[in-house]
Amino acid sequence: AQSVTQLDSQVPVFEEAPVELRCNYSSSVSVYLFWYVQYPNQGLQLLLKYLSGSTLVKGINGFEAEFNKSQTSFHLRKPSVHISDTAEYFCAVSSGGGADGLTFGKGTHLIIQP
């Protein structure tokens, strides 16, 4: 079985400040890791994913994440946030090539303060 823990349900950050959204996972097998963003009243959009190779993954909108196998973490970072980054962010894990779908964390609400 696999699971995902997003340690913060809500993260307030001032505009232009850096942010880190934390994600830890557990799995007995190799995993593939994802971050999705959900803007208000919209569906899910893929920010980035880690499948293999370099542990630092760059995604859209200036976000990046680092896979740390020893700490079973996949934290999401952005060096300078904007008001438009206000959204819900979900970390997710998959153990296979899509057969059993994604297991999601409970989400982190990123609140950008002017």
* Contact pattern for other proteins over residues 19 through 38, marking x by CB under 8 A: -------------x-x----
Q: Does 97 bind other proteins (CB under 8 A)?
A: yes
If one asks whether residue 89 binds other proteins (CB under 8 A), the answer comes out as no
Residue 111 Cβ vs other proteins, minimum distance, rounded to whole Å: 15
Helix (H, G, I), strand (E, B) or coil at 107: coil
Minimum CB–partner distance for residue 21 and other proteins (Å)? 13
Close Cβ partners of 76 (under 8 Å, ≥ 6 residues apart):
20, 21, 23, 35, 47, 48, 63, 64, 65, 89, 91
What are the structure tokens assigned to 89, written together? 């962010």
Q: At CA 85, angle to CA 108 and CA 100, rounded to 5?
A: 45
Binding piece for other proteins, criterion CB under 8 A, among 20-28, 57-65, 73-81, 95-103: 95-103
Residues that bind other proteins (CB under 8 A): 6, 9, 32, 34, 42-44, 46, 49, 51, 90, 94, 96-107
